[in-house]
Chains A and B, each alone.
Chain A
Amino acid sequence: MEHHSTRPDWTQYQKDIADDHYYYARSCIRQNFFPASEQTFLRILKDELGKDILDDAHHTTCTGIGYHTDVVPLETTMTVVARNFALMTEAGYKNYVPSCITSFGLYTEILETWHHFPETLEKTREFLYKATKREFNIPENLAHTSDVIFKFRNEIAAKAKFRLINKETGKPLRIVDHIGCHYAKMFPGKGIGGAEYPYVLAGMIEAWGGQTVDYPERRHCCGFGFRQYFVKANRSYSLSASRKKFESMEPFKPDAIVNNCPGCPYFLDRWQYVTAESEGKVFGPDNKPIPVLTYEEMAGLVLGYDPWDLGLQMHQVPVEPLMDKMGIPYDASKKYLDKNGKDIGKPVIPELFKSSVHE
């Protein structure tokens, strides 16, 4: 019996996603982890979809990680968020699209707080004005950037150069999705498809020819539960959380994992190196590790962008097996060259990863 994405009718979880004119808020950490993903989002929005989006150099962190690790008090967090909203207001935008899931969850939480406790909103306005002399409007629309790509998934499909289909067999590739916890677990109504069976990434996968794979630990933490990793003594929890997911998805033979959170793809990618080196174990089909993508990288591959422009050489797990299945041509000799052709250095390839790369 063929497994497929099992879920209730996702359309019961609808949310408004603005059509155009976005104020973009970057993630603190994504540019380090997956350096071309945010740039790829902007490229798709501007060049492929013709949308107006402001990439404002003046905005700051939302403080999300500091807030969730009890380093930054909520009042401070709300004031910092208010400053970002003030920048959006001053720039003449009303639609706020954060790249980070933690930010999206935090913005959602703050907007809900202000909605239910208007006095807190007024206090925040007062704090911001005292600190910066700035004023702000609440965004008319808040959507995560994966919501935006989901909204335009069919437009992207229409421009696709490659599809999530195995070119040898003609069958859909089997893609595991992993949704950041803060996307919908706190406010299920704010996520496409809700918290239990989110559809935001599944919708992209299906629109681009792939098949989503449901597996028992689909909702389990990726391993970046903040206290699991930021508290050094707890890091074994982080690894065991990721490992639990790998073990659970292994029987389903996934061709790739796709994510919409800053931390999830990082941990699902890097911990595969650790399990390969520490216990000689990989979890993908054909005794290979499972390539891990951000949704922007997946969209970029579908649109035919050069994989090295997408930053795929920065992944721990080689993405070449997925590109081979999709029939995407690439120049292996350029993998570790920068835009100017300069050698950026080649990492040591773990023994178990060697069959995934063309040396």
Chain B
Amino acid sequence: MNKRVLIIGAGIAGMEAAASLLALGNEVLLFERDEIPGGHLKDWERLFPTQRLGSEVLDFLKKGIGSNVQLIHGTTITSAEKHEGRFKVVSSGGDVWWGDAVLLATGYDLFDATKKEEYGYGIFKNVITSADLEKRLLHSKELLTAEGKKPGRIAFVHCVGSRDRKIGNVFCSKVCCVTAVKQAIEIRQLLPDCEAYCFYMDLRMYGMKFEELYNEAQEKWGVTFIRGRMSEVSENIDRSLLVKVEDTLIGRPMRMNVDMLVLMVGFVPTKTTAKLAANIGVELNENGFIKMLDEHTSSNITNVPGVFVTGTAAAPQTISTTVMDARSAAVVVNNWLNSGGKA
């Protein structure tokens, strides 16, 4: 008899893990709170470092789950419990499903940029987040300020909500630096007369082709990178933004007017994941993500036997590493099921 795996979350990790577990001969129920699968990828136009379309990766993932994975969409799983060796999950609507293992693929939330009041998100209309920009680019090839003007200067602020003790997030979100580089290039491609500035703490170009993209941004597209954290953003009478920042390479404060400001918001653990984890007894790590049993050797395993984790529910990851992690999780879950829950 096929074992049944309950995967909670149909983003990149959940979809790819579902496809892999299916290929390994398991029955898979894939729960998704939205009406359609894909998670944050649905809202992303182009991907670093190649600028390929996000929809291409989404199509790949959809093809993977095909019609053999039971996708139960529009359903939020609110509780899970182990009962006589099996797992029971319950939705907010009271529906119940049973399975032999649970894989948490609940992903991440974007940092709420209104918490960094000094950047003016939610206050000034020309301050947007990286996710807002991506959505705009997804739906329109025209980028205008809130006043309907072509922007002449756009600045990107790195590490918004990441590596920031003041707001309690000490971890790096891993994707923001290179996303800023990608988006700054896109701005220069879309609006050749618009200046693009990136304000960074340091640039973490760790992935293959990331450094090349950073070099290309400067050499080919004329993006200016300034090391320094922004201290304050305020609005001029014409609704342009006055930003104050210290250039820490030359050791001087600077002020600059920009037409739009893009905040590179990082990952934060989801509140719903925390509730579900508490319900099932899964421990969280010091950053609020799901705690891996061992970061080096048991990264998909939680403290509760039969409950596994994959993707950004455990830590910030790129799409590439999320896909790899999902495949890894599928193997780990499959081995555990085949060993009768002893592995």
| A is bound by B | yes
Mask: chain A, 244-257; 1 = CB below 8 Å from B; 0 = not: 00000001100000
Residues of A within 8 A of B123 (CB): 6-8, 197
Contact A6 B235 (CB under 8 A): yes
Q: How far is the CA of A216 from the CA of B258 in the complex (A)?
A: 13
CB contact list, B218-276 vs A, under 8 A = 232, 234-237, 239, 242
Contact B234 A214 (CB under 8 A): yes
Chain A residues with CB under 8 Å of chain B are 1, 3, 6-8, 194-197, 214-219, 251-252
Chain B residues with CB under 8 Å of chain A are 114, 117-118, 120, 122-124, 147, 232, 234-237, 239, 242
Contact A194 B232 (CB under 8 A): no
Number of A-B residue pairs at CB separation under 8 A:
33
Residues of B within 8 A of A194 (CB): 117
**Least distance between B164 CB and chain A CB atoms (Å):** 15
Q: How far is the CA of A219 from the CA of B244 in the complex (A)?
A: 12
Residues of B within 8 A of A217 (CB): 234
Contact B117 A216 (CB under 8 A): no
Contact B239 A8 (CB under 8 A): no
Contact B117 A196 (CB under 8 A): yes
Residues of B within 8 A of A196 (CB): 117-118
Contact B235 A219 (CB under 8 A): no
**Least distance between B252 CB and chain A CB atoms (Å):** 16
Q: List 26 A-B contacts (CB under 8 A).
A: A1-B147, A3-B237, A6-B120, A6-B123, A6-B124, A6-B235, A7-B123, A8-B117, A8-B123, A194-B117, A195-B117, A196-B117, A196-B118, A197-B117, A214-B234, A214-B235, A215-B234, A216-B234, A216-B235, A216-B236, A216-B242, A217-B234, A218-B234, A219-B232, A251-B237, A252-B237
**Least distance between A225 CB and chain B CB atoms (Å):** 15
Residues of B within 8 A of A219 (CB): 232, 234
**Least distance between A72 CB and chain B CB atoms (Å):** 30
**Closest residue on chain A to residue B234 by CB atoms:** A216
Q: How far is the CA of A92 from the CA of B124 in the complex (A)?
A: 48
Q: How far is the CA of A252 from the CA of B279 in the complex (A)?
A: 54
**Least distance between A259 CB and chain B CB atoms (Å):** 19
Residues of A within 8 A of B236 (CB): 216, 251
Residues of A within 8 A of B147 (CB): 1
**Least distance between A117 CB and chain B CB atoms (Å):** 21
**Closest residue on chain A to residue B255 by CB atoms:** A216
**Least distance between A10 CB and chain B CB atoms (Å):** 11
Residues of A within 8 A of B122 (CB): 8
- Contact A1-B235, Cβ < 8 Å, known A6-B123, A8-B117: no
Residues of B within 8 A of A218 (CB): 234
